[in-house]
Amino acid sequence: MISLKLDFEKPNIGFWAKRIIAESRLYLTNHVINRVPSHQFRLFCYRHLLNFEIGQNSFIFMDTWFDAGNRFVMADHSVINQKCRLDTRGGITIGKNVSISAEVCILTADHDLQCENFTGRNRPVVIEDYVFVGTRAMILPGVTLKKGCAVAAGAVVTRDVEPFTIVAGSPAKPIGSRSSTLNYTIHYDRLFA
């Protein structure tokens, strides 16, 4: 049974005001702003309402969902396609020329299943330069996708992926490798994406 104790004598107005503002920003960005068909407007809101660091010529397509403000950095010439879920509570860092396909889920928070208190944990996800993540892949907390690696569609990545390695499956395992001389610039300049 869960008990709820409220202290009506000393209301913590500052705490609740901050929480209401933070939750309102997330609601606004996840239910209104992410559906506006103007890429520049969405980026402006993400940078100024959620305090995200987003590089030049990077794109976040419509219907992308964020779990928290702050703790999100995306370098130049990277793209996040439509309907992705990005759990930014533990922090997500995305390098240059990264392509994240539609409906990818990146998680940074979970619970310790072995802890008697089911303690919550936050562990950052790092995605280095030239990484490709296929449609509906899932990246779990604490994972680093190293330079040039590729994650196949539908893969569940539970561990770090070595540079230029291609992984697939659940859990993801190496199935091949990419060229170690990658040298391209991603630019998805779609008007209504």
Chain centre to alpha carbon of residue 180: 25
| Rounded Cα–Cα distance for residues 149 and 162 (Å) | 7
Q: What are phi and psi of 75, to 5 degrees?
A: -80, -170
pLDDT of the residue at 136: 98
| Rounded Cα–Cα distance for residues 79 and 59 (Å) | 5
pLDDT of the residue at 7: 52
Confidence bin at 2 (pLDDT 50/70/90): low
Q: How far is CA 102 from CA 4, 5, 105, 189, in A?
A: 41, 43, 9, 16
The topology (CATH level 3) of 13-177 is UDP N-Acetylglucosamine Acyltransferase; domain 1 (2.160.10)
pLDDT of the residue at 8: 52
Confidence bin at 10 (pLDDT 50/70/90): low
Confidence bin at 100 (pLDDT 50/70/90): very high
Global confidence as pTM: 0.90
Q: How does pLDDT run across 131-189, given as a tens digit for each residue?
A: 999 999 999 999 999 999 999 999 999 999 999 999 999 999 999 999 999 999 998 87
| Average of per-residue pLDDT across 113-134 | 94
Domain parsing of the chain, residue ranges: 13-177
Q: How does pLDDT run across 19-56, given as a tens digit for each residue?
A: 899 899 999 999 999 999 999 999 999 999 999 999 99
Q: How many DSSP H helices and E strands does the chain contain?
A: 2, 19
pLDDT of the residue at 11: 64
Encoding tokens for residue 157?
Answer: 């990545």
Q: Residues 141, 153: contact at Cβ < 8 Å? A: no
- Find the catalytic residue in 31, 48, 77, 111: 111
| Rounded Cα–Cα distance for residues 158 and 118 (Å) | 20
Q: Residues 64, 86: contact at Cβ < 8 Å? A: yes
Clarify whether 111 is annotated catalytic: yes
Encoding tokens for residue 120?
Answer: 């919550």
pLDDT of the residue at 189: 76
Q: What are phi and psi of 104, to 5 degrees?
A: -75, 145
Element at 120 (helix H, strand E)? strand 120-122
| Rounded Cα–Cα distance for residues 38 and 35 (Å) | 9
| Angle formed at CA 101 by CA 60 and CA 39, multiple of 5 degrees | 20
pLDDT of the residue at 190: 77
